[in-house]
């Protein structure tokens, strides 16, 4: 049976997408290299939760083209959801080569796989970070993305350009999704909701950058997954029409966010409420690579995909904290 390939399947978003695909009866082949950017035990726990007769996991580094080709040679891949990447803005200051390998060379390898298989649709993860120092709010997919504030952002923008070239040259249908600060159960330990929760429950100070004045378009995982599946089900047409992002090739770009930016301090208050105790706050300056605000224009995603995020920060944070307490027994 033809399958959907999900890269980064042991990661936060990849895990949730694989679970949602399995729930609707889709066969899923998952690829991940299980690197140690954060605790691999969390990734292993996600894989254990994906135990299903229609799920196959392959440990593979997709930035290694020969290894990827060999690993998938016998797999009847149809569509691809490419979510694997080296994530994290700040880490890209210290390990730039890892970002070029995963996000540039790795993205190219997935494009080549999709081309070789005549894939009817490749959905791939981009990031709100591509907007960089853009001051026009809300961020629209038609905005120029030529001023990245981190190497991570530059590699994700490079991936979008590579996808545009493949859509133009080989008419490979693709949809790029710019994610905005995704959080929720099974999340990433380097993200604010997790860091705040872990610190408060352990009685450690919460490090609050820029006095909590930065704004983020916090996006709950279930809403984002619904947007990813809707995008997968709606490949862009190859009819010379202009798609979101401006391409006349079969390549569309969408923002997936809540469309409602909140101050970082508001996220902290929601975590305090969910944990039932106040935070001890340590105020720090803005970090290199950070931006003061993100805000997604989700109008194209709403119009084309029916994307309708509905989870409030208070509700989403409460669900995350409940999961965190249960997972770690605290």
Report angle CA 26, 69, 129 to the nearest 5 degrees: 70
Is pLDDT of 2 > 90?
no
Nearest to 254 by CA among 221, 230, 238: 230
User: What pLDDT, on a 0 to 100 scale, did the predictor assign at position 37?
Assistant: 94
Q: d(Cα 102, Cα 156) in Å, to the nearest integer?
A: 10
Burial classification of residue 303, based on how many CB atoms lie within 10 Å of its CB (0-12 exposed, 13-18 middle, 19 or more buried): exposed
Tell me if 307 sits within 8 A of 232, measured CB to CB.
no
- Neighbour count for residue 45 (Cβ, 10 Å): 14
Burial classification of residue 329, based on how many CB atoms lie within 10 Å of its CB (0-12 exposed, 13-18 middle, 19 or more buried): exposed
User: What pLDDT, on a 0 to 100 scale, did the predictor assign at position 203?
Assistant: 95
Tell me if 296 sits within 8 A of 178, measured CB to CB.
yes
Q: Tens digits of per-residue pLDDT, 252-294?
A: 999 999 999 999 999 999 999 999 999 999 988 887 777 888 9
User: What pLDDT, on a 0 to 100 scale, did the predictor assign at position 330?
Assistant: 93
Tell me if 149 sits within 8 A of 133, measured CB to CB.
yes
Nearest to 114 by CA among 194, 4, 273, 37: 4
At residue 160, φ and ψ (nearest 5 deg) are -65, -40
User: What pLDDT, on a 0 to 100 scale, did the predictor assign at position 1?
Assistant: 67
Place of tokens 């947007």: 227
- Neighbour count for residue 81 (Cβ, 10 Å): 29
Q: Tens digits of per-residue pLDDT, 220-262?
A: 999 999 999 999 999 999 999 999 999 999 999 999 999 999 9
**Choice between 92 and 45, residue whose per-residue pLDDT is larger:** 45
Q: Tens digits of per-residue pLDDT, 117-132?
A: 999 999 999 999 999 9
Buried b (16+ CB within 10 A) or exposed e, 124-143: bbbbbbbbbebeeebbbbeb
Q: To the nearest whole percent, how much of the chain has pLDDT over 90? A: 90
Distances (CA, A) of 316 to 200, 222, 223: 17, 9, 10
Burial classification of residue 175, based on how many CB atoms lie within 10 Å of its CB (0-12 exposed, 13-18 middle, 19 or more buried): buried
At residue 25, φ and ψ (nearest 5 deg) are 90, 10
152 is catalytic: yes
Per the document, the length of the chain is: 330
The β-bridge relationship of strands 219-220 and 182-183 is parallel
| 3-180+220-257+296-309 fold | Rossmann fold (3.40.50)
Q: Tens digits of per-residue pLDDT, 28-87?
A: 999 999 999 999 999 999 999 999 999 999 999 999 999 999 999 999 999 999 999 999
Is pLDDT of 315 > 90?
yes
Nearest to 170 by CA among 108, 261, 99: 108
Sign of CA dihedral 186, 160, 153, 312: negative
Q: Which pair of structure tokens corresponds to residue 138? A: 């809300």
At residue 154, φ and ψ (nearest 5 deg) are -65, -40
> Residues 152, 183, 254, 324: which is the catalytic one?
152
């Amino acid at each position: 049976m033809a399958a959907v390939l999900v890269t980064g399947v042991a990661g936060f978003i990849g895990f949730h997408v694989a679970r949602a695909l399995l729930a609707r009866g889709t066969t899923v082949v998952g690829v991940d290299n299980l690197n140690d950017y954060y605790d691999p035990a969390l990734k292993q726990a996600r894989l254990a939760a994906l135990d299903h007769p229609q799920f196959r996991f392959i440990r593979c580094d997709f930035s290694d083209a020969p290894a990827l080709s060999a690993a998938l040679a016998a797999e009847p891949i149809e569509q691809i959801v490419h979510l694997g990447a080296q994530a994290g803005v700040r880490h890209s200051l210290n390990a730039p080569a890892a970002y070029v390998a995963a996000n540039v060379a790795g993205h190219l390898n997935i494009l080549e796989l999709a081309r070789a298989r005549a894939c009817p649709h490749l959905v791939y993860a981009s990031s709100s970070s591509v907007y960089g120092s853009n001051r026009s709010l809300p961020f629209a997919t038609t905005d120029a993305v030529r001023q990245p504030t981190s190497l991570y952002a530059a590699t994700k923008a490079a991936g979008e350009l590579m996808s545009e070239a493949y859509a133009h040259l080989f008419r490979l249908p693709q949809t790029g999704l710019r994610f905005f600060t995704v959080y929720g159960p099974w999340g990433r330990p380097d993200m604010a909701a997790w860091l705040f929760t872990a610190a408060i429950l352990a009685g450690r100070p919460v490090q609050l950058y820029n006095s909590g004045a930065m704004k983020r378009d916090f996006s709950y995982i279930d809403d984002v997954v619904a947007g990813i599946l809707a995008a997968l089900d709606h490949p862009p047409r190859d009819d010379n029409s202009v798609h979101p992002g401006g391409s006349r090739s079969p390549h569309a770009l969408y923002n997936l966010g809540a469309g409602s930016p909140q101050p970082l301090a508001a996220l902290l208050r929601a975590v305090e409420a969910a944990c039932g105790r106040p935070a001890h706050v340590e105020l720090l300056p803005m970090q290199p690579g950070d931006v003061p605000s993100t805000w997604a224009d989700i109008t194209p995603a709403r119009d084309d995909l029916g994307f309708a995020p509905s989870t409030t920060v208070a509700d989403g944070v409460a669900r995350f904290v409940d999961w965190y307490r249960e997972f770690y027994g605290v």
